[in-house]
Amino acid sequence: MKGYRQKESLFRVLKIALLLIIVVSVSYPTPRTTQAAQKDIIRTPHYLFLFIGDGMGAAQVKLSSALLESGHTLAMTSLPVLGMATTHSAERLITDSGAAATALATGSKTTIGTISMAGNHLDTLRTVAEMAKAKRMKIGIVSSVGIDDATPACFYAHNASRANLYDIAVQMASSGFDYFGGGYSLGNFPENQIKSKTFRGDITTLMQSAHYLLARNNKELNTIKPGTRCWAYSDYDSKGALSFAMDRRNGGKIELAEFTREGIRLLDNPKGFFMMVEGGKIDWACHANDAAAVAHDVEAFDKAIEEALAFYHRHPRETLIVVTADHECGGLSLGNAANGYETRFDLLRHQKISQQRFAEKVHTWKQQGTITFPMALDSVKVYFGLENVDAGDRNALQEAYLTTMKSDAPGTKGNDAFSPAVTSLLNRRAAIGWSSNAHTAVPVQVFAIGRGAEAFRGFYDNTDIAKKIIQIAGLKPSGK
Ligand SMILES: [Zn+2]
């Protein structure tokens, strides 16, 4: 018995000693491994990308990939992590870009049309871009629409209304951010300058006084040196935005992907950066129910994502890329009642210009007053590939054409019934359905890759996207 107890206690001692050896060897591996492991634990991503496809629901993404040349997949759908997010505002199930971008930028719900302020319009909400700046990271804001439009504005400005464009643009100059690229400042248009009660002068002058170099074409942008504050824009339309991707055929213009690539070049530094890139024209194409324009602008947005992915492959451990949308727009469906189970998306490839560009032509015809309906129908064939129009459709188009030519007020939208009628016919033939000219409450996809990306799996709210970025990147929601 005694011998057995002795043996047992000896066995216990040996067991404890063995355990200690295991614990010690696990806790104290070779110095090199320890350093690498610690680095991995400590290191948070310090290159942060947030891509926002305005109005880009799952159907918009699928439509674009269906129209791309075979064998090419969208970069965003190749990202390994997929989630979904709800988009409602504080007061309404169907949001707008102000409330939605506030959620994505700050992690808080707010009311429609509000720019990174609480719904009471008294409390300012701190944005992830401001938090990243407080961490001495560099900040870039890129959009294919006006740089003071709701989505980009929500990252650098705070205002009770997205309509106060000039006041929002002024905050771009005082933001201290490093790079603004894409569309022009809509707030700097004279009609918006005079609306401001606190007009302080031209936005370009304010930006230059705040040490921003202006780059108005590829050449100028290429020569800006990293570390220099820069505001880049090239061509823009009457709403301060880049033209639709499918209408951009002339060289020399800066594309969304180039704004992104050059932004990365200017922002890259050891302390890291935060960059928000918006594909804003996807939404505009959806409002117009212009399916081909949607597909091309999703593709242009995806090319910008490719630039971030190229950067990610150089810094995989320190980069986080998140791609999402602020809301769906148009209630796009792939398939319609007229075609049942058949789809003819290939018909959209015959569309050569956007509905908006076509509407500009219709507007010119109206001013000229010499274009007959048969001539207009010829143009429909040229620009939309619509042939063999049967009697019923022909009558509907003719009625829309005559109404448009007769309407008194000038303008290309609102008074133009013909251009939407043309795209509507193309949609019907191609088996594209639209339920709305406004936004919808359909949840949107979230794609992610890089350090911390796993957190973006699952189904959550758009406010959680900002909260996840804040947590993963170790940003401080309040104070400096
Ligand atoms: Zn919209």
- Between 246 and 70, the more confident residue is 246
> Both 441 and 429 in a single domain?
no
> Both 274 and 390 in a single domain?
no
Q: How remote is the CA of residue 290 from the centroid of ligand 1, in Å?
A: 13
Torsion sign over Cα 76, 274, 100, 108: positive
Q: How remote is the CA of residue 34 from the centroid of ligand 1, in Å?
A: 51
Q: How remote is the CA of residue 10 from the centroid of ligand 1, in Å?
A: 77
Nearest residue to 401 (alpha-carbon basis) of 353, 361, 345: 361
Cβ atoms 259, 303 nearer than 8 A: no
Q: Dihedral through CA 354, CA 415, CA 388, CA 365, nearest 10?
A: -80
* Mean pLDDT to the nearest integer, 158-186: 97
Cβ atoms 147, 212 nearer than 8 A: no
Q: Which of 41-45, 82-86, 356-360, 361-365 has the lowest mean pLDDT?
A: 41-45
Tokens linked to 170: 């002024």
- What letter would DSSP give residue 245? G
Mean pLDDT of the chain: 91
Is residue 477 a part of any domain in this protein?
no
Output the pLDDT for position 116: 98
State the residue range of the domain holding 422.
335-433
Is residue 137 a part of any domain in this protein?
yes
Q: What is the pLDDT of residues 52-93, one digit of tens each?
A: 999 999 999 999 999 887 667 899 999 999 999 999 999 999
> Both 371 and 316 in a single domain?
no
> Both 62 and 204 in a single domain?
yes
Answer left, alpha or beta for residue 414, where phi above 0 means left and psi between -120 and 50 means alpha.
left
> Both 319 and 391 in a single domain?
no
> Both 80 and 194 in a single domain?
yes
Q: How remote is the CA of residue 134 from the centroid of ligand 1, in Å?
A: 31
Q: How far is CA 52 from the centre of its chain?
A: 2
How does residue 15 score in pLDDT terms, banded at 50, 70 and 90?
Answer: low
Q: Coil, helix or strand for 4?
A: helix
How does residue 368 score in pLDDT terms, banded at 50, 70 and 90?
Answer: confident
How far lies 104's CA from each of 101, 109, 308, 411, in Å? Answer: 5, 9, 19, 35
- Number of helices and strands (H, E) in the chain? 18, 14
Q: How remote is the CA of residue 327 from the centroid of ligand 1, in Å?
A: 8
Is residue 15 a part of any domain in this protein?
no
> Both 137 and 241 in a single domain?
yes
Q: How remote is the CA of residue 69 from the centroid of ligand 1, in Å?
A: 28
Is residue 60 a part of any domain in this protein?
yes
**Paired residues of 447 in beta bridges:** 82, 323
> Both 356 and 254 in a single domain?
no
Q: What is the pLDDT of residues 180-206, one digit of tens each?
A: 999 999 999 999 999 999 999 999 999
- Checking if the pLDDT of 129 tops 50, the result is yes
Is residue 414 a part of any domain in this protein?
yes
Number of domains within the chain: 2
> Both 270 and 376 in a single domain?
no
pTM of the model: 0.90
Output the pLDDT for position 406: 87
- Checking if the pLDDT of 3 tops 70, the result is no
> Both 225 and 303 in a single domain?
yes
Interatomic CA distance for residues 153 and 430, integer angstroms? 36
Is residue 1 a part of any domain in this protein?
no
Interatomic CA distance for residues 254 and 258, integer angstroms? 6
Interatomic CA distance for residues 122 and 447, integer angstroms? 34
> Both 324 and 455 in a single domain?
yes
Q: What is the pLDDT of residues 290-334, one digit of tens each?
A: 999 999 999 999 999 999 999 999 999 999 999 999 999 999 999
**Which CATH number is 100's domain given?**
3.40.720.10
* Mean pLDDT to the nearest integer, 351-359: 97
Is residue 2 a part of any domain in this protein?
no
Q: How remote is the CA of residue 112 from the centroid of ligand 1, in Å?
A: 12
Is residue 29 a part of any domain in this protein?
no
How does residue 158 score in pLDDT terms, banded at 50, 70 and 90?
Answer: very high
> Both 131 and 261 in a single domain?
yes
Q: What is the pLDDT of residues 408-442, one digit of tens each?
A: 655 444 579 999 999 999 999 999 999 999 999 99
Output the pLDDT for position 70: 63
Nearest residue to 57 (alpha-carbon basis) of 23, 20, 94, 24: 94
Bridge-based pairing state of the strands 328-329 and 439-440: antiparallel
